[in-house]
Structure 1
């Protein structure tokens, strides 16, 4: 049941997010004791949040009529945005996926409200000059694709439910991720700091995972975490788009 406190939990989360990220320097936040303490407080608050606190009812699995076949697989409820952070709720239909994408120079926290999601996270690595020219892929890359190639490490694969703690990303760690709804619809509260802003170099880019042709047949297989991969930057996939819907929960103010 929603909490009856005069100050809603989502308002407390928003205030703590503002405190956490207002003076956050993305290049040093991981080593900043005050930032980490504030982030811990924010994580504790996020752990408590449930769909009912935002007046959101879990969606049921229903057959999709042909008339709804062109409805968006993912929708977004905007809650608030400041210069320091943005916050909203993503709702995924059963079987929907938010493709692999990045958050340039941004921190983020994701808390599942209902359902289950699988999150696959990557770190970008610095590539030595012309490193990709020595790597072979199948099918081979086109000449103009080499500039869009990024070396990376598969950092983690995990499943999250409403009983899980938040999933955290930083400008350097787990900054790229793909989110898939598992066994039905799902929704999660999303905080990004600072918000996306193409004019300030924070645009969203999409990627496809490429595995190189291995010359060494003895290379270990079945590795999931810390596996080095290559990511090819691609346009937004045709089968993914995000619609909008009203946020029904408590108003957040500053």
Structure 2
């Protein structure tokens, strides 16, 4: 009788363990991995691998999203299709959320200041274009004579190098960007309905100077550079000048209720 009772208790424990959802495991891991991090501080390698392994194993079923949800129906006739954001969790150390992009939906080129970001494409096909800053090269703020990008005749720009320029189709591995590497400035363009699970550490925070900045690209040949080593035609294709701009007109990211497995915040 005693052995039967012990066996029953083991089964109950196993049942309780099975009830831990993927999003709960993700939250618990984020809490550990980002505990000693802050702005500009990258988590240790083992923490990066832990989060990557969890995210790589996640699918749309783990967060109850699917391509036939109404968020993916494009009603607009012009401008950017509306993008939906599902908030899962946020604290001063990290945030977890899901972006739902309808076909042709675009998250324009933007940055992630002092952040480490994990992005997991749950379903769909998406084009990602990403850049990193090239700090060792300075520029003149005066465009070349054949440039007509600036109405005023001058524009403040900064050189960036192309890091990623590819289509990604789920299932695929998690992409990771770092404060100064991995494509900190990136643009998402949905080719089909797409869902992207995002983990940011730390999250955006305007009072602390971590706001989302948008950019316009200019060809490398539009501006003069102080470094003469970047005049090889093949190299030039990898470089652009980025100009800070206001939030693009027509860009609309709407918050919606997340109805997937709940996270118990501890």
- TM-score if structure 1 supplies the norm length? 0.84
Q: State which of 59, 62, 67 in structure 1 corresponds to 2:68.
A: 59
Q: Within 5 A, what are the aligned runs for 1:97-108?
A: 97-108=106-117
Q: State which of 54, 61, 64 in structure 2 corresponds to 1:45.
A: 54
Whether contact under 8 Å (2:128, 2:187) holds in the other structure is: yes
Q: State which of 228, 231, 240 in structure 1 corresponds to 2:239.
A: 228
Whether contact under 8 Å (2:74, 2:102) holds in the other structure is: no
Q: Which residue of the partner structure matches residue 18 of structure 1?
A: 31
Q: Which residue of the partner structure matches residue 253 of structure 2?
A: 242
Q: Note the C-alpha offset of 1:116.
A: 1.2
Q: Note the C-alpha offset of 1:204.
A: 0.3
| SS of equivalent residue, structure 1 residue 14 | helix
Q: Which residue of the partner structure matches residue 158 of structure 1?
A: 166
Q: Note the C-alpha offset of 1:213.
A: 3.2
Verify: 1:90 aligned to 2:99, yes or no. yes
Distance 2:180 2:100 in 1: 26
Q: State which of 163, 168, 172 in structure 1 corresponds to 2:180.
A: 172
Q: Note the C-alpha offset of 1:93.
A: 0.8
| SS of equivalent residue, structure 1 residue 118 | strand
Whether contact under 8 Å (1:137, 1:213) holds in the other structure is: no
Q: Note the C-alpha offset of 1:230.
A: 0.3
Distance 2:165 2:241 in 1: 17
Whether contact under 8 Å (1:205, 1:234) holds in the other structure is: yes
Whether contact under 8 Å (1:120, 1:158) holds in the other structure is: yes
Q: What is the aligned length?
A: 241
Give the gaps of 5 or more residues in structure 1: none
Distance 2:153 2:252 in 1: 26
Q: Note the C-alpha offset of 1:159.
A: 2.4
Give the gaps of 5 or more residues in structure 2: 1-16
| SS of equivalent residue, structure 1 residue 159 | strand
- TM-score if structure 2 supplies the norm length? 0.80
